[in-house]
Amino acid sequence: MGLLSSLSTGTGYWNPLAWVLATAVAMIVVYLIWRRGEASYKKGTAQTTPFISGNPEPEKGMVHVRASNLYWGYLDALKGYYELIVPVHSGFLNDYVLWYLGITALIMVAVVVFA
């Protein structure tokens, strides 16, 4: 019963039953609007393609902004860094272990020399 009781926070209250009721009412309204839509479109024909002023629909890649575009300025400013660092990431574990050993050896040498 505790789950269904109202929780007063001082600035409002939380009641799961109220949320369920509101969601149900919203779903009914959505269904009524959806039911009034045009149902005679023939699927698989041009009738269900988007209208772009009569022009053919371009490939999705031509009209959607890719996520990488958001970082264009960042990547361009650090181009020199990325040109070096990306080829190093070959995907082979052996390469990474070699890098690890090499860098560790350099650090050990540096510690010995400057200690």
Residues lying near other proteins in the complex (CB under 8 A): 38, 40-42, 45-47, 49, 51, 53-56
We find the least distance from the C-beta atom of residue 78 to other proteins, in angstroms, to be 45
Q: Give Cα 77 distance to the centre of its chain.
A: 24
We find the least distance from the C-beta atom of residue 76 to other proteins, in angstroms, to be 38
Nearer to other proteins, 53 or 94 (CB): 53
Nearer to other proteins, 41 or 72 (CB): 41
What Å distances lie between residue 36 and 2, 31, 39, 73, 86, CA to CA?
A: 41, 9, 8, 47, 54
We find the least distance from the C-beta atom of residue 47 to other proteins, in angstroms, to be 6
We find the least distance from the C-beta atom of residue 14 to other proteins, in angstroms, to be 42
Name the H helices within 1-115.
Answer: 16-35, 60-63, 67-70, 72-77, 79-88, 93-114
Nearer to other proteins, 10 or 54 (CB): 54
Contact 29, 21 (CB under 8 A): no
